[in-house]
Amino acid sequence: EVQLVESGGGFVQPGGSLRLSCAASGFTFSTYAMSWVRQAPGKGPEWVSAINGGGTSTYYADSVKGRFTISRDNSKNTLYLQMNSLRADDTAVYYCSKTPTLTPDYWGQGTLVTVSS
Amino acid sequence: DIQMTQSPSSLSASVGDRVTITCRASQGISDYLAWFQQKPGKAPKSLIYGASTLQSGVPSKFSGTGSGTDFTLTISSLQPEDFATYYCQQYNSYPITFGQGTRLEIK
């Protein structure tokens, strides 16, 4: 059974940093692209970033480019999202997803990031 | 960026009804179109990819059609568990973009 479990969310002040993690199980992690999608309160989903199976290619939404870094540790079956220079409009639930065809087939339960002073 | 526009934004229907939701892309995306269902406080659930291919475990009451710029999601014989918000998503090119959602409510 595929499981994706996010962690690392929390409350942070503007300009601060957080690192999200997503522990994956139930599939051969290294062979699948993975993505982060976020959802601000009361809004629709917004794609944030994606990474290929080997970790050699990464993609970002313009809204986070230069501030967020996606990475993965295939030896630990874990996906990461390093978030720097956080702003109030980064407040959202962040979901990791398994994306075999650039679109998710499985989603985690999400982790809430709140950016506020 | 490719803009995805869903219609209607909200829809009221009764148990047993058949409903159709439309998604239009601002430029051609071939069949790189997915549909998701989301219930309040829950993660999205993947329903369809490739415009018409059901994800594993998704019942055949859900069906998708379309190619290019115009796509539809049809849900037949609505049951109480089907009342949720539905989103389309294009993955033809980065940045990947979602529609604004269609809220399906019980009449």
As given in the structure block, the two tokens for residue B19 are 């409903």
Q: pLDDT digits over A48-84, tens only?
A: 999 999 999 999 999 999 999 999 999 999 999 999 9
Q: What distance in Å separates the CA atoms of residue A27 and residue B46, rounded to the nearest whole number? A: 17
Q: What is the pLDDT of residue A101?
A: 85
Q: What distance in Å separates the CA atoms of residue B57 and residue B80, rounded to the nearest whole number? A: 18
Q: Does B40 touch chain A (CB under 8 A)?
A: no
Tell me whether residues B34 and A95 touch, CB distance under 8 A: no
Tell me whether residues A95 and B87 touch, CB distance under 8 A: no
> Quick one: how far is CA A61 from the chain centroid?
12
Place of tokens 């985690």: A108
Q: What is the pLDDT of residue A40?
A: 98
Q: Does B66 touch chain A (CB under 8 A)?
A: no
Q: Does A107 touch chain B (CB under 8 A)?
A: yes
| Confidence label for A30 from pLDDT (cuts 50, 70 and 90) | very high
| pLDDT > 90 fraction of chain A, expressed in percent and rounded | 97
**Which amino acid, A47?**
W
Candidates A44, A59, A107; nearest CB to B43: A107
Q: What is the mean pLDDT of residues B17-45?
A: 97
Q: What is the pLDDT of residue B33?
A: 98
Do B106 and B83 meet the contact criterion of CB atoms below 8 Å apart?
A: yes
Q: What is the mean pLDDT of residues B50-67?
A: 97
Tell me whether residues B101 and A110 touch, CB distance under 8 A: no
Q: How many helices (H) and strands (E) does chain A have?
A: 0, 11
Tell me whether residues A44 and B95 touch, CB distance under 8 A: no
Do A69 and A14 meet the contact criterion of CB atoms below 8 Å apart?
A: no
Place of tokens 């849900």: B75
| pLDDT > 70 fraction of chain A, expressed in percent and rounded | 100
Candidates A61, A101, A108; nearest CB to B43: A108
Instruction: Tell me the torsion sign for CA atoms A91, A39, A54, A78.
Output: positive
As given in the structure block, the two tokens for residue B86 are 């539905």
Q: What is the pLDDT of residue B78?
A: 96
- On average, the pLDDT of chain B sits at 97
